[in-house]
């Protein structure tokens, strides 16, 4: 199966750029995520982490 896919991918002009684009997107997303985690306010993190345990919000389905 890999031979079949590899053969067809080689026939596409400029296909080598797609792995580089996906790597850049992957790296940028996780770099932004790490930056957000390290710069987030402690009060916000505490508030969001306690949301599932908060009994004041009674939602009826």
Q: Give the Cα separation of 41 and 19 in Å (integer).
A: 35
Whether 44 has a pLDDT exceeding 70, the answer reads yes
Q: Which residues, other chains included, contact 15 with Cβ-Cβ below 8 Å and sequence gap of 6+?
A: 9
pTM above the 0.85 mark?
no
Which of the pair, 12 or 41, is modelled with greater confidence? Answer: 41
Whether 36 has a pLDDT exceeding 60, the answer reads yes
Whether 61 has a pLDDT exceeding 50, the answer reads no
Q: Give the Cα separation of 56 and 6 in Å (integer).
A: 56
Q: Are 9 and 15 in contact (CB under 8 A)?
A: yes
Report, as an integer, the average pLDDT of 42-60.
76
Residue 35, both tokens: 């930056």
Q: Which residues, other chains included, contact 9 with Cβ-Cβ below 8 Å and sequence gap of 6+?
A: 15
């Amino acid at each position: 199966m890999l031979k079949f896919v590899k053969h067809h991918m080689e026939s596409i002009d400029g296909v080598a750029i797609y792995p580089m684009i996906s790597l850049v997107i992957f790296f940028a997303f996780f770099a932004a995520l790490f930056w957000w985690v390290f710069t987030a306010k402690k009060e916000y993190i505490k508030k969001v982490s306690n949301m599932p345990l908060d009994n004041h919000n009674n939602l009826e389905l």
